[in-house]
Copies of this chain bind each other. A is one copy, B any other.
Amino acid sequence: LKPIEWKKDSLLLLDQSLLPFQTVWVKLTDPEGVASSIKNMQVRGAPAIGITASYGMVLSVRGDNLDEAISSMRKAKAVLDSARPTAVNLSWATSRMLEKANLAVEQGEVKDVNELRELMEREANSVFEEELEAELKMGIYGLEKINSGDAVLTQCNAGGLATGTGLGTALAPVKLAHALGMDVSVFAPETRPWLQGSRLTVYELMTDGVKTTLITDTAVGLVMYKGMVQSVMVGADRILSDGHVYNKIGTFKEAVIAHEMGIPFFALAPTSTFDMKNRVEDVKIEERDPNEVRYIRGVPVAPAEVEVYNPVFDVTPPKYVTGIITENGIIYPPFEKNVRKIVER
């Protein structure tokens, strides 16, 4: 699975808003097109958005001279950044690209627009490769926790669709295990309200040939009770320095049940996911449109006027976290002490 393909003068994106019902590749040739793809959720997931925006910046290197090219990049950054203003990876990537370009022009590293564009292309490739390398490292650390014959319970889609590399964070260990010929499988809960499990995780793992079983969110408990899974591996949207893990709604229940059943629970995320400043009482949990619960793919499933509470994330206290798998190694409790050692090294 390769959801993002760079083709020198264009970017191909696998349209995630249509998966798994239609496999459509979107061809983008300018930053405006890239921005609308981000806005329309054709690409989603923080790292995937960062990679996509980086290539969007490459496509903006246009003009008769370096001044025009830099000016064009500056405009492209503004257009891209406004596509999803809360996605931090987006402005992080466009800033990185623009700063690199400015520095190269100032220091005379590039002589013309062509050279600038080649430099930008290498930089975007680096964004992609750094992400992939971090995921490979997480995958290798996570492999220690998987035995042949294991089934892994996940949540949402912390796979290669979300990161843009095709590998992913939470799914990296099981994909590497599969690639190494180990007998592994995944239980994917559908993950209401967005159904990233049924739509994306299942699609991604089936594409990669990993044995996958779809379950409802109500069935995660029974699957653990019956000993059908040997570990839980999920992604993370934010991790606090004391080990509180914020991730897609539904993660907390998996962690609590795993704890009770003696099944190890791992969060997998790059060290950039750590929030070393805030405490659990400072973090507000985002709530979304009630209609995401009242409707499924446009079909009503509840009375239209019912009151809805629709939080997007939940928080798992450190008590329930067996370990946090990063590109720098696995962090075990006590997190208060051990997170800093790995994140700030």
Contact = CB atoms under 8 A, between A and B. Distances in A.
Interface of A: 20-21, 187, 189-193, 195, 198-199, 202-203, 206, 211-223, 225, 228, 248-250, 252-253, 256-257, 259-260, 285, 293-294, 296-303, 305-311, 314-315
Given A216-B249, A221-B252, A297-B301, 6 more contacts: A195-B302, A203-B303, A211-B307, A212-B307, A214-B309, A260-B260
B193 A216 contact: yes
A192 B214 contact: no
A305 to B, nearest CB: 8
Contacts of A191: 218
23 contacts: A187-B309, A192-B192, A192-B218, A193-B216, A198-B294, A198-B306, A199-B302, A206-B303, A214-B302, A215-B293, A216-B250, A217-B218, A218-B250, A220-B253, A221-B252, A222-B311, A222-B315, A223-B309, A256-B256, A260-B260, A296-B296, A296-B297, A296-B299
A309 B215 CA distance: 6
A196 to B, nearest CB: 11
A71 to B, nearest CB: 46
Copies of this chain, count: 2
The 10 closest A-B pairs by CB, nearest first: A218-B250, A198-B302, A221-B253, A221-B252, A217-B217, A192-B216, A222-B314, A218-B249, A20-B303, A296-B296
